């Protein structure tokens, strides 16, 4: 039983897309029981999952006090509780980090995102000091362009973040992934998704290893 929080300082880094694919992988591929907490006011994760009609327990909670109370209760009844936070480090996000076993930070290879990653890492470290090393945190590069100089520089930057494990698997920019929301699907459900699904599987396996 683990609470896994997808967190970042800003939106537009593919946080919800990654969270939905991770939830699908846990539920449909790994056959785990999953509860989902959509803490992002935009509600894109809950809308996407509802459209796919997955057999999961879905909650929309954005209030920090309610998150602190309800998320640990969900943990008692499911293999995994996955929280998709808002694209900020407000009270709700900080609340979920107080209960999460694993925090996942996606970034895209841009200067602004690398700066936001440092801020997110700082908040995670504050929680780690207060909670004896938890949440275990991993950061990965999302929406990268193959062989781009900035992507290579991003790999170097995330490797220097104290208290955060740089995940090896990079998720590359693909039109197929960008189209999944409109298609109410994941890459596992779409033609031509073999390479993308293999990349996600490697990434998600790394994420689960953080909790061991």
At 70-89, the pLDDT tens digits run 999 999 999 999 999 887 77
- What 3-state class would DSSP assign to 1? coil
What average pLDDT does range 173-198 have in this prediction? 96
Is pLDDT at 170 greater than 90 in this prediction?
Answer: yes
- In this prediction, what percent of the chain has a pLDDT beyond 90? 69
CA dihedral in degrees (6, 10, 11, 14; nearest 10)? -50
Q: Mind listing the pLDDT tens digit for each residue in 53-67?
A: 888 999 999 999 999
Q: Which residue matches tokens 């990349």?
A: 199
Q: Which CATH superfamily is domain 2-209 in?
A: P-loop containing nucleotide triphosphate hydrolases (3.40.50.300)
Q: Which residue matches tokens 């504050």?
A: 126
Kindly list the domain boundaries of the chain, sorted by start residue: 2-209
CB contact burial 88-114 (16+ within 10 A = b; e otherwise): bbeebbbbbbbbbbbbbbbbbbeeebb
Q: Mind listing the pLDDT tens digit for each residue in 2-30?
A: 999 998 766 667 889 999 999 999 999 99
Return the closest-CA partner of residue 138 out of 152, 158, 113, 116: 158
What CA–CA distance (Å, rounded) separates 181 from 17?
8
């Amino acid at each position: 039983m683990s609470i896994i929080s997808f967190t970042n300082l800003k939106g537009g880094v593919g946080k919800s897309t990654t969270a939905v694919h991770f939830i699908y992988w846990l539920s449909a591929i790994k056959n785990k029981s999953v509860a989902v907490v959509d803490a992002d006011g935009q509600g894109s994760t809950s809308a996407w999952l509802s459209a796919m009609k997955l057999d999961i327990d879905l909650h929309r909670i954005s209030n920090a006090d309610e998150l602190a109370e309800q998320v640990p209760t969900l943990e008692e009844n499911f293999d995994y509780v996955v929280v998709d936070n808002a694209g900020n480090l407000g009270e709700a996000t900080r609340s979920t980090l107080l209960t999460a076993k694993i925090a996942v930070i996606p970034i895209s290879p841009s200067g602004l995102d690398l700066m936001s990653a440092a801020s997110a890492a700082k908040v995670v470290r504050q929680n780690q000091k207060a909670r004896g090393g938890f949440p275990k945190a991993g950061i990965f590069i999302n929406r990268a362009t193959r062989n781009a100089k900035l992507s290579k520089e991003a790999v170097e930057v995330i490797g220097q973040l104290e208290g955060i494990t740089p995940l090896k698997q990079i998720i590359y920019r693909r039109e197929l992934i960008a189209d999944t929301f409109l298609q109410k699907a994941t890459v596992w459900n779409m033609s031509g998704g073999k390479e993308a699904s293999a990349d996600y599987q490697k990434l998600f396996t790394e994420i689960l290893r953080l909790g061991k």
